[in-house]
Amino acid sequence: MYPNIQAYDRGVMFNPDGRLFQVEYAKEAVRKGATSIGLIAKDSVIFVAHKNITDPLAVPSTIQKVFMVDSHIGATYSGMVADGLHIIGIARDSAQQHRFIFNEVKSIESVAKDLAAYMMQATQYGGIRPYAVSILIGGIDTQPRLFEIEPGASFLGYKADAIGSGKKAASDILVKEYKDNMPLDDAISLGVKIIKKVTETKVTPDNLDVGYIEDGHEFTILGSDEIAKYL
């Protein structure tokens, strides 16, 4: 006889069908999050993220969805805000510790693997819950790279990817319209266009974050005036 079925619902353990309910619930939380997009363009990596601002009295500039992790790495997230900010902090720690010890930048894949290993711990032990967040992390080391880490702690490399509530619709558009070696401006325009299509609310410079890195330059986050040019 199986234990009380609620045990599988409350703890991080496999049910007899091989499912981890808590991980599935975390993925559902990500599916309710605002949409974020990452794209590899010609010698660059771009992030475009919608900020779901529901309180009319909120200050938009205090809400951030695209982050510099290191001079050569950027990231964005979808899901629970607190979880996303925490995991971004872990990514920064991973990159900076490597710089401090070895006096060199850390590869994007190594940072992604560190995040996956950290998030996996929350799927293995009782008393904690999986992180309700998916992360897109990318940048340039020997070449442009982009990875997604999801709540189950698996990670995969992409040319272009979307996370959050508009993932399916955004991915369909990316499959049709994304091209290898797109110019930087075209890639940003495509990302903004997709956010506008998959988001029910009006997209403005105040509820959109855009960041990118070009080969030979540090990660850059666009200001409101620069974002407005793409709307």
Domain hosting 219: range is: 18-228
Please state the rounded mean pLDDT for residues 139-162: 96
186 pLDDT band (50/70/90 cuts)? very high
User: What is the C-alpha separation between 228 and 231, in angstroms, rounded?
Assistant: 5
Chain-centre distance of CA 128, in angstroms?
A: 22
- Encoding tokens for residue 143? 């070449």
CA angle (184 as vertex; 192, 45 as ends), nearest 5: 85
Q: Is 8 part of any domain?
A: no
Within-domain flag for 42: yes
> 4 lies in a domain?
no
Domain count, the chain: 1
Tell me if 121 sits within 8 A of 23, measured CB to CB: no
Q: Would residue 86 count as lying in a domain?
A: yes
Q: Tell me, yes or no, whether 3 lies in a domain.
A: no
pLDDT digits 0-9 by tens, 15-35:
788 788 889 999 999 999 999
In a domain, 99, yes or no: yes
Cβ atoms of 64 and 52 within 8 Å: the answer is no
Question: Which pTM does this prediction carry?
Answer: 0.93
Burial class of residue 132 (count of CB atoms within 10 Å of its CB; 0-12, 13-18, 19+): buried
Residue 22 within a domain: yes
**Residue at 13 is within a domain:** no
pLDDT tens digits for range 107-122: 999 999 999 999 999 9
- Residue 184 is predicted with a pLDDT of 96
Residue with tokens 């959109």: 208
Report which of 171, 142, 177 is spatially closest to residue 158, judged by C-alpha positions. 171
Reply yes or no on whether the pLDDT at 131 is more than 60. yes
Q: What is the CATH number of the domain that holds 156?
A: 3.60.20.10
